[in-house]
Amino acid sequence: MKLYKTLNIPNPRIDVADALRGIAVAGIILYHSVEHFNTLDSVPEYSFAFDDKLFETLGIILAGKMYSIFAILFGLSFYIQKDNREMKGKDFSLRFLWRMILLMGFGMVNTGLYDGDILTSYAIFGLLMIPAGYLSTPVLAVITAVLLLQPLNIFNVIAGRQSDFSALWAAYGEVSDAHKYGTFASNFVTDLKYGLYVNMGWNVYSGRITQIPGLFFLGMLLGRARLFYNEGRNLRIWKWIFCLCAAGTAIGLCLMPFGTLEEVAKPLFNLVMTFLYVSLFVLLWYRFEGFSGTMSRTGFFGRMSMTNYFLQSLLGSFVFYNFGLGLWAKTGTLYSLLIGAGIVIVQYLILKGWSRTHQRGPLESLWRELTWMVPLGKK
């Protein structure tokens, strides 16, 4: 089998990817807030009649899309790091393996703060990028397409198979009760006990068990194609992607709810909307200087995504859980959305101040230092 080799073309910093990552992080914070950071079955004291409809609308706009953007850019970052090393005649595999071990450690700490952590899942699925990074582009493209088409979900629908997730819902109940009634210590212990299980269980239930590695690989393919640079016919390609995804989104909205095909159709609909957002953002970035000039000022927010992710777990759990303000029992969807916007603003201001004297966030700097402190061949 023919393996992929670097094209020896420099990979300068992709500012549009940094800004897009920042948008994804902000969207994740907003949706986690309206979900009260996984505090289930809450009947808020202060709510509006339209809150249920607003929650449904936010689910269509944000749920499954923001994390997908984040996952694609995770794969893109891997490609850039790997390709830059290969251009120096060095291999990145062992270093990346160590990097994922470190990410698992960060993720477990974050899981103690918030059971909806994605870093542990990224660390596990990220290991698949090591062998995938050697595959030729055509082979990787086929594997990516198969993964994104949700083969397990399709099999379940065709076979009429209904999986039993009762144990998963019971575990979610345990962590939700800890959020509602527990102390900080009991939350931390309960989240550590069930966090990885509920996350991997949710990945199976939602189809992300194949979608996450598929999105990682897709990010690698976009990196190989250099589509995030304004080169050649790239903007024309993004125009076609935008038009096709706009049409696909319109069709999907007309067909919702998807009924018996929900298990297959919903993840695909989320993927189409994800690329609608990405293509629109890239086109606006390269076509309108005012847009790119404004959004480039938020690039630091995306470059510090891990620090952002930890901060949202700290602030969100304090605001909504029992050991803090306990607002899970008080705020409906609109109020929670406004609180989420407030959390985004607070994090923005904190990291804006940090960025004046630091290129990376504190956790990004720590991750980088730990990545290179272990001797795994030449730097």
- The domain spans of the chain are 15-169+179-373
Residue 206, pLDDT score? 86
Residue 377, pLDDT score? 55
ω into residue 362 within 30 of 0, thus cis? no
Residue 378, pLDDT score? 55
- Taking the C-alpha atoms of residue 270 and residue 53, their distance in angstroms, rounded to an integer, is 19
Residue 164, pLDDT score? 87
Residue 205's contacts (CB-CB under 8 Å, 6 or more residues apart) are 163, 165, 168
Q: What is the mean pLDDT of each run of 10 residues along the chain (379 residues)?
A: 84 94 95 93 86 95 95 96 92 93 96 94 96 96 95 84 89 95 96 95 90 97 96 96 97 90 90 97 96 93 95 96 95 96 97 94 95 73
Residue 102, pLDDT score? 96
Two tokens, residue 129: 């990028």
Residue 24, pLDDT score? 95
Among 149, 148, 152, CA closest to 72 = 148
The answer to pTM > 0.85 is yes
